[in-house]
Amino acid sequence: MIAQVKSSDAVLILGAGGLGSLAAQLCLLEGAHTIVVSDLNRAALDRVQAFYDSMTAKGLTTTKTFRTVTPAELDKLVSDEAKPLSVNVVVDFVGAQSSTSSTFPACATMPKCS
């Protein structure tokens, strides 16, 4: 289990490589309410999305909202005045703080990213 994710949690996963993909899979199995995965690599995001689609088709997840986004799309989600992204669990596979804040500027507004 990752960070003891519960069905009421909203999870942001930074990085969709091997570890980020595994984190997304574990969160899906735990049934986190919302999962957002962000990465620069669209192919990695597509692989994570395909896994979610497969889990959903088989009825193996109770996740209500699942999104794969680039850092630019993440910034828009976070800064959306009408309905900003709100998460209570952040899993960072990007790396050092300087790397995270330069790749994912939206993290500056998320307390658990700083």
Give this prediction's pTM. Answer: 0.84
Q: How far apart are CA 18 and CA 55, in angstroms?
A: 18
CATH architecture of 10-113: 3-Layer(aba) Sandwich (3.40)
Alpha-carbon distances of 85 from 3, 11, 46, 61, 79, rounded to whole Å: 20, 10, 21, 21, 8
Domain ranges for the chain, please list them. 10-113
Spell out the per-residue pLDDT of the chain, length 114, in tens: 455 888 999 999 999 999 999 999 999 988 899 999 999 999 999 999 999 999 999 999 899 999 999 988 988 888 888 888 888 888 888 875 655 565 566 665 555 543
DSSP conformation class of 78: H
